[in-house]
Amino acid sequence: MATLSRTVSSLIFLCSFLCPVGVTFAQERPYFVTYDDQLEKRGELEVELLTTSGNVRDENRRYIAPWTEIEYGVTSWWTTELYIEGVSFGGAGSAFTGWRWENRFRPIKGDHVINPVLYVEYENINEASRIQKEIVGRGAPDFEPVNELADVRAHELEGRLILSSGMGRWNVSENLVVEKNLSEEEGFEFGYTVGVSRSFGSGLENCRFCADAFIAAVEAYGGLGTTASGASGATRQFIAPVLSWHVTPGSLFKASVGFGLTSTSDKVLLRVGYTFDLW
């Protein structure tokens, strides 16, 4: 975690001096779990460095799960993204937990009262995965030894219906999530996420430390159960305020503290992310 923190700090410092000020801020997503209707512009490449740290219940070990997202705008209506992720359990070892390939499609051009986006993701991960970019089904994650969890691989398919509305400085986005484990007969798992965000500024200024550079948000997310007859345990539910800062016109730093609301949820999920455009 110290290495990741130093890397993010160095990038922020470098970009603050090398990137120009006085141009329009890029429209990076101000949420961690919720998706809005923003897609990458055609031909643009973006990198995001993120971590999820979990303060768990009972005697289970805390963990930190870093991951990297590489996002590319294939067309004006299609964005594709590759995820690489890992995990480290406090005093109990670390593991590479897999990769994901995400695609988002915007079927309707222009801005509307409600802007739909279709999302499909293939996941090649193992049971040690803890980035928790979606919460589905019911029950808590397994906390077996990390080497045992890493040996249990899963091929999963995730779909989302994303609905997003922009109203001046406000954005409201809702996601319905459906996930299917292709490696096991577990039925379909369902989840949701809802996000509301607001820019502090009026959109008339473009400085690093003025109100326009900051966005406040809150998102709620959790599981909605499963079709598997043997599934047990309460669903995991979280509510998380998010604060985002446009460090430069082409980069965004964001942080969130998610609070678990049920007995199967982690007590706290601390998330930190830094996004920057490569071109």
pLDDT in tens, 4-22: 444 444 443 433 333 333 3
- Residue 24 tokens read as 């329009």
Higher-confidence residue of 74 and 146: namely: 74
SS3 14: helix
d(CA 119, CA 80): 10
In the chain the domains, ranked by start, together with CATH numbers, are: 2-277 (2.40.160.40)
pLDDT (tens digit, 9 = 90+) per residue, 85-112? 999 998 889 999 999 999 999 999 999 9
Closest by alpha carbon to 127, among 71, 65, 70? 65
Reported as a pLDDT band with limits 50, 70 and 90, residue 194 is very high
Mean pLDDT of 153-165: 97
Q: CA 98 → CA 82, 183, 247, distances in Å?
A: 11, 15, 30
d(CA 30, CA 167): 15
The burial class, CB within 10 Å (0-12 / 13-18 / 19+), for 47 is: middle
